[in-house]
Structure 1
Amino acid sequence: MSQSLDIIHDEHRALAAMLSSLRSLAGAIAAGRLKPDFGLFADMLRYIEEVPEKLHHPKETDYLFARLRPRCPEAEPVIARLVEEHHQGEARMAVLKDALEAYRTRGEAGFEGFNSALLHYIDQEWKHMNTEEKQIFPLARQHLTAADWAEIDAAFLANDNPWQGAAGEYAALFTRIVNEAPAPVGLGG
């Protein structure tokens, strides 16, 4: 197996953990067990926007998908859909951030709109990651050559830990999120 597929899978797991945490926090608010922490929600959305949307997706598009396209023409419709989803990421994140701001501004009356936007975003991301792992990964393993993998792996290994970012910025953000989020999502009170 290529190192780059391991990196993508690890990045998917990290994103899945953040998405699950968001869902858990929103669920606890809906059940009346938590009060909203808008700063925490904003940090979590910033993390998703900065790491998966701006670092992870471009690597998939520019390296994995670009090498697979000529080797496996039957993958083109799936790749085209995934690339389009990557391009829609900024707009989808803007909808979610706007819903959070409306919730912050309107109070409890804004929760349903935020929760709906959040659940829609989470659902789209799960489908996206599952498509990559269940459809693209097997095709890549089957059709890409050793030279393809060497090129893809070199690109991914050049930035193999985007979760830490420049000077540990994303590691610090992640640590702050974990420390602020209440149990069982994080370590906060």
Structure 2
Amino acid sequence: MPMQPIAIQLIVEEHRAIANVLHVLQAVVDDARRGIAAPDFERLRAVLVYLDEMPARVHHASEGGLLFPLIRERCPALRPVLARLEAEHERVERIVRELGHALSAWQVMGEGRHEAFELLARTYVEMYLGHMKVEEGYVLPVAMDYLDEADWQKLAVAFEHQRGEQAQAALRKHRELYERIVAKPSVN
């Protein structure tokens, strides 16, 4: 079986990191709801910063700016799915900012705002995990079928350029933030 193209490897690795952070978000909220632990607002804030920064600045830019246009060109039948996924990118970016506001309200206004944050967080986690499942289970396999070696080489160069020297500092910061988020085990 041939090795996966670098573009797919990077997207799948980023999906794993995003999923891990989403699971931390859910675990911290669940622990607070069950009274197992006091709300860890600092960790929740770090989670939201990561989910606001990394996907929008790196991951979605790779998919929407580099991979999806090539898939759209090679497989026109996938255009509606790609349009839906790009709309979801915008939606998850908007919701994470709403989560930031809801988190501030919970922290400042107290327990009466916990449920609103929890419901929004649960919706966000389920939606984002489902979104990534469609990308990995449907879009990436179609890309493997429709893109040729020259396309994958072009994407590898584009991904490298996108994540070039200037972006490396930001990527290191995202990695450090990710490590800080997942390093602390949840109580459950």
- The TM-score with structure 1 as length reference comes to 0.88
Question: How is 1:77-116 mapped onto 2 (pairs within 5 angstroms)?
Answer: 77-116=80-119
Note closer, same or farther for the CA distance 1:94–1:166 as it changes in structure 2 (3 Å cut). closer
The gaps in structure 2 that reach 5 residues or longer are none
| Corresponding position: 1:149 with 2:152 | yes
Figure out how many residues of one structure are paired with residues of the other and give that number.
182
Deviations 1:53-94 (A, max 9, x none): 221001101111010111101101100101111223332112
* Conserved 8 A contact 1:72-1:143: yes
Question: How is 1:122-137 mapped onto 2 (pairs within 5 angstroms)?
Answer: 122-137=125-140
Residue 35 of structure 1 and its aligned partner are, at CA, apart by: 0.1
1:57 and 1:84 mapped to 2: Cα distance? 11
Question: How is 1:26-175 mapped onto 2 (pairs within 5 angstroms)?
Answer: 26-158=29-161, 159=163, 165-166=169-170, 168-175=172-179
Residue 147 of structure 1 and its aligned partner are, at CA, apart by: 1.2
The gaps in structure 1 that reach 5 residues or longer are none
RMSD: 2.0
* Conserved 8 A contact 1:96-1:114: yes
Read off the aligned partner of 2:170 and give its amino acid letter: A
- With CA pairs under 8 Å and 6+ residues apart, which has the higher RCO, 1 or 2? 2
Residue 106 of structure 1 and its aligned partner are, at CA, apart by: 1.6
* Conserved 8 A contact 1:164-1:171: no
1:101 and 1:128 mapped to 2: Cα distance? 26
Deviations 1:111-158 (A, max 9, x none): 100000100110110111011011101110111121111111222234
Note closer, same or farther for the CA distance 1:118–1:36 as it changes in structure 2 (3 Å cut). same
- The TM-score with structure 2 as length reference comes to 0.89
